[in-house]
């Protein structure tokens, strides 16, 4: 039991969730390593939502509201950390949810489906009992996507994604939104909109912003998306990391 006064309470609480999900078979083995990498960048970013992450959330919310066929892709880490929030966001956007695993096994797909159903999701795509289509440029099970889901979606929110798949999705003409604490990952650099923040803060912020922008005119939403520059936003994240720590390393 972690005491609330512990200076690393929030971070340790997330670790417990991740370890529990691993023990239940929801998380891939590498999911723990991926979480550790995320933790490092979260620490460097001050474990708080930065001003540029807020800008990216606004652009992401506008793009998702403008989408004809928005979809939220869920992997093991997402299912472990924010299942209820994902369902809530999908409801607000009228978006589909697709289980899309890098280390795909039928057992993990079934477990994640159960987690999402327990969180209130009704119509989950990406399960093993539906028609699949292959994403061009990818090999093997990693190319698999739901024919009704990611394959035909115009806008994909895919947190904690692998670089190859991010590149293939962008090449196939989709607008790609990711959440990745590492501003230098290939996915972060490839996506159209990268929210450099912890998924546990980014998804609730997205829900709030989708609600705020829900009645905005399409022209206003287009303007928000058009004025967002992902490379510039990533540079801002890097600057924030340096500014936060530069005094600490001065002799
Ligand atoms: O469940 P699966 O089989 O689909 O596998 C999922 C993982 C995440 C294991 C797989 O996609 C993978 O290996 O991903 P990578 O290439 O390690 O990338 C994960 C990225 O997510 C890294 O850049 C991390 O910094 C980042 N990350 C980790 N935890 C968080 C995070 N970003 C936001 N919030 C987090 N909590």
| Per-residue pLDDT tens over the stretch 96-129 | 999 999 999 999 999 999 999 999 999 899 998 8
Give the burial string for 91-124 (b: 16+ CB within 10 Å, else e).
ebbebbbbbbbbebeeebbebbbebbeebebeeb
pLDDT at 250: 65
Is 153 within 8 Å of 174 (Cβ atoms)? yes
For a pocket test of ligand 1, which of 31, 77, 85, 191 has the largest count of ligand atoms closer than 8 A to its C-beta?
A: 77
Give the residue, by CA position, lying nearest to ligand 1 atom 1.
Answer: 76
Substitution site in 102, 160, 179 for ligand 1 pocket (most atoms within 8 Å of beta carbon):
160
Residue 28 and residue 102 in contact, taking contact as beta carbons nearer than 8 Å: yes
Check residue 251 and give its pLDDT.
66
Pocket of ligand 1 (CB under 6 A): 28, 30-31, 34-35, 37-38, 41, 75-77, 81, 101-103, 160, 162, 179-182, 185, 198-199
Write the residue with the smallest CA distance to atom 27 of ligand 1: 38
Low-confidence ranges of the chain (pLDDT < 50): none
- pLDDT value at position 242? 93
pTM for the full model? Answer: 0.96
**Residue 249 C-alpha from the chain's centroid:** 32
Per DSSP, the chain holds a count of helices (H) and strands (E) of 11, 8
Q: Which of 15, 34, 49, 187 to mutate to test the pocket of ligand 1 (most atoms within 8 A of CB)?
A: 34
Chain-centroid distance, C-alpha 226: 21
Among 209, 250, 6, CA closest to 93: 209
Query: What are the angstrom distances between the C-alpha of 158 and each of 132, 175, 176, 199, 250?
Result: 18, 11, 7, 11, 38
């Amino acid at each position: 039991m972690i005491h609330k006064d512990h200076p690393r309470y929030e971070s340790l609480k997330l670790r417990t969730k991740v370890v529990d999900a691993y023990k239940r078979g929801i998380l891939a083995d590498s999911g723990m390593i991926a979480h550790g990498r995320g933790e490092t960048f979260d620490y460097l970013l001050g474990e708080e939502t930065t001003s540029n992450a807020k800008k990216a959330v606004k652009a992401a919310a506008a793009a998702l509201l403008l989408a004809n066929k928005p979809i939220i892709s869920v992997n093991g880490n997402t299912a472990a950390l924010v299942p209820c929030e994902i369902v809530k966001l999908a409801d607000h956007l009228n978006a589909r949810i697709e289980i899309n695993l890098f280390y795909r096994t039928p057992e993990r797909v079934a477990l994640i489906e159960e987690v999402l159903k327990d969180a209130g999701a009704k119509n989950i795509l990406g399960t093993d009992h539906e028609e699949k289509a292959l994403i061009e440029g990818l090999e093997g099970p990693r190319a698999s996507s739901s024919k009704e889901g990611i394959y035909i979606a115009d806008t994909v929110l895919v947190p904690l994604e692998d670089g190859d798949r991010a590149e293939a999705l962008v090449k196939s003409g989709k607008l790609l939104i990711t959440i990745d604490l590492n501003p230098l990952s290939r996915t972060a650099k490839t996506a159209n909109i990268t929210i450099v923040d912890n998924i546990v803060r980014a998804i609730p912020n997205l829900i709030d912003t989708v609600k705020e922008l829900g009645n905005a005119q399409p022209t206003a939403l287009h303007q928000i998306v058009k004025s967002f520059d992902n490379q510039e936003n990533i540079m801002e994240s890097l600057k924030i990391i340096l500014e936060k720590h530069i005094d600490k390393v001065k002799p």
